[in-house]
Amino acid sequence: PDRQRTLRATIAWSYDLLSEGARRLLAACSVFRGGINLDIIETVCAEAMDLGVPILDALAELVDQSLLSQGSVSATVPRYTMLETVREFAAEQLAEMDEAADARAAHASAFRSVADDLDRPPCWPARAGLDLIELEHDNFRAALDWAQTDDPAAALRLANSLTAFWSARGHFSEGRRRLGNLIELVATEGSERL
């Protein structure tokens, strides 16, 4: 449709105005879903790719070009959001980069770390932990989707970390489906299945 072509042309025009570092950051941000915490952006970029510029400068450039929107969940931690059409465009740019797999792996690793820091069953996570997982639920889903293909054992460990959340917040079907799929992919022996 004409509207989609016009929107894509506008995104491409904004992208062409970016510095190389901001372009690389936009591509890296495509691995995130539903919002991006500044701390985790820094973690993923430090592990996956060199932007060649300070991350805050690249973020400011993306906000100035309206490719990211800045908000916050708390007074101390900035959070960025991206329209889905922009994310799709950025994902295409990431796919052409050598660091694409590294960015996805760094994203999954960052969210495994977030999950590892929370209480595990049978002790229910505190409300703050549940709220954090709810806020980052789409990012956890993206990490699980990537790891299921690339590292099923790591995906199963992450899914095990999310079981209390899925139970407490009513995501029973999703939890059961994900765990069932991952158990089929992971060998019958190993700590991941415990």
Stretch 74-81: mean pLDDT: 78
Cα angle value 72/76/77 (rounded, 5°): 50
- How far is 127 from 174, CA to CA, in rounded Å? 20
Stretch 66-86: mean pLDDT: 85
Q: What are the pLDDT digits (tens) for 97-134?
A: 999 999 999 999 999 999 888 766 545 556 778 888 88
Cα angle value 107/98/104 (rounded, 5°): 15
Stretch 60-83: mean pLDDT: 86
Q: 69 forms bridges with which residues in the sheet?
A: 81
Residue 142: CB atoms within 10 A of its CB come to 20
With bands split at pLDDT 50, 70 and 90, how would you rate the model's confidence at 74?
A: low
What is the per-residue pLDDT for 99? 96
Q: Output the average pLDDT for the chain.
A: 88
What kind and span of H or E run contains 36? strand 36-37
With bands split at pLDDT 50, 70 and 90, how would you rate the model's confidence at 161?
A: confident
The pTM for the full model equals 0.86
Q: Which of residues 132 and 81 earns the better pLDDT score?
A: 81
